[in-house]
Amino acid sequence: MKRTEKGIVCPNCERVDMLATYRKRQIVEYRNISTQKIPIGGVYGYKANWLKESAKLIGKEGIRCMACQKDLEHSDFAGVGEIKISSKGALFVNDFFERFTAGNKED
């Protein structure tokens, strides 16, 4: 993972400090139709604005570069074995085995 004093560099576009977490959600909304009133021109109006029925998380959360709009995986960052996303922030977990064996590549 390439890090400068200004932040983490995107491995795809080389922009600094443009990473964000994302999540994909499915939202189901509805509007009630007013069928008690006489329709105006054959169109029944609505009783109220849109109401949310449910919102559920689809899939998983991830890391995205907001400059190039690419979804990034832990394998895109050198030396990162896993990315854990929580409500407090994103944790980039180092891949110890890759870092340990990277210095011994003299073949």
Going residue by residue through the chain (107 aa), what tens digit of pLDDT does each one get?
A: 666 667 888 888 888 888 888 888 899 999 999 888 888 788 888 899 999 998 888 877 888 988 888 888 888 887 788 888 888 888 888 877 666 666 555 54
Q: Which long-range contacts (CB under 8 A, 24 or more apart) does 99-107 make?
A: none
Task: Round to whole Å and give the CA distance between 90 and 107.
Answer: 36
Task: Round to whole Å and give the CA distance between 92 and 7.
Answer: 13
Model-level pTM? Answer: 0.58
Pairing type for strands 51-65 and 90-94 reads unpaired
Alpha carbon separation from 104 to 45, 54, 82, 101, 107 (Å, rounded): 73, 53, 22, 5, 9
Q: Where are the domains of the chain?
A: 3-102
Query: Is residue 101 within a helix (H) or strand (E), and if so which, with residue range?
Result: helix 96-102
